[in-house]
Amino acid sequence: MIKTTLYLVETCQERMDLNWFSFIRSIIAKFKFIYCLVCVVMASKMVVLLPAILAAFIIGVLGLLLAPSEVRNRDLSFPTGTIKIDNDTIKVEVAKSPEERQRWLMFREDPIPLDSAMLLAYGKPDLYALWLINIQYNLDLIWLDENGHVVYAKENAQICTNPFDPSKCTYKNTSPAKYVIAASSGFIANHNVSTSSTLKIISI
């Protein structure tokens, strides 16, 4: 009787040990699966942003390497114009050519006054990434379609503190845009810009 009882206890213990081992293995497998899913999601997001980040990074680095110091230090003048955002009239510097759009607000020490801005005008609606390398102050960025409707905006966009990590200072619209308004941080709040705001070009 005693031997039978000991045998049953040992058998039960073996089964319990086996069940606990299987349970731990299943938990580990689930954690591995969840970790794999997280990695896939993060990788997919980086794949979406990677082309824009690489393009902005290459263009910016080449510009810095190939531009002589007198070009980097000189004050490039832009044509000026006037726009309206809702009821507010804004004086703008206009960047139309590829050279002007590449230079835009780089190397400027003083922030743009909040009653003015820079307007980047592109040839066709598309997704346009802006890399805030060599910008001296944070910006408000507003992307608008060909009809002047706001399609994307970024308040207080941070400048680059590490040029080798462009992902933290590259900003890109999610819907096609033809114009980008670049202004000092606080512009959006100062002019009450929202997704329902409309741009009207008076002269550029």
Q: Is the pLDDT of residue 165 over 80?
A: yes
Q: Give the pLDDT confidence score for residue 54 in this predicted structure.
A: 55
β-partners of residue 180 are: 120, 143
Q: Say which residue, 165 or 190, is predicted with more confidence.
A: 190
Yes or no: say if 92 and 81 are a contact pair by the CB < 8 Å rule: yes
Indicate the range of 34-38, 72-76, 150-154, 176-180 predicted with least confidence. Answer: 34-38
pTM of the full structure: 0.65
Q: Is the pLDDT of residue 82 over 60?
A: yes
Compute the C-alpha angle 3/8/9, nearest 5°: 95
β-partners of residue 84 are: 89, 200
Q: Is the pLDDT of residue 138 over 50?
A: yes
Q: Give the pLDDT confidence score for residue 57 in this predicted structure.
A: 53
Q: Where are the domains of the chain?
A: 77-203
77-203, which class in CATH?
A: mainly beta
Please identify which residue in the block is written with the tokens 């890109």: 172
Q: Give the pLDDT confidence score for residue 77 in this predicted structure.
A: 86
Q: Taking the chain, what is the end-to-end CA distance rounded to the nearest angstrom?
A: 102
Q: Is the pLDDT of residue 169 over 80?
A: yes
Identify which of 173, 167, 160, 100 has the alpha carbon closest to the alpha carbon of residue 134.
160
Percent of the chain with pLDDT over 70: 63
- In 56-197, the DSSP E strands lie at 80-85, 88-95, 116-126, 129-131, 139-144, 150-157, 170-172, 177-184
Q: Is the pLDDT of residue 133 over 50?
A: yes
The whole-chain average pLDDT of the chain stands at 78
- List % helix, strand, coil for the chain (3-state, nearest 5): 40, 30, 30
Instruction: State the average pLDDT over residues 175-191.
Output: 98
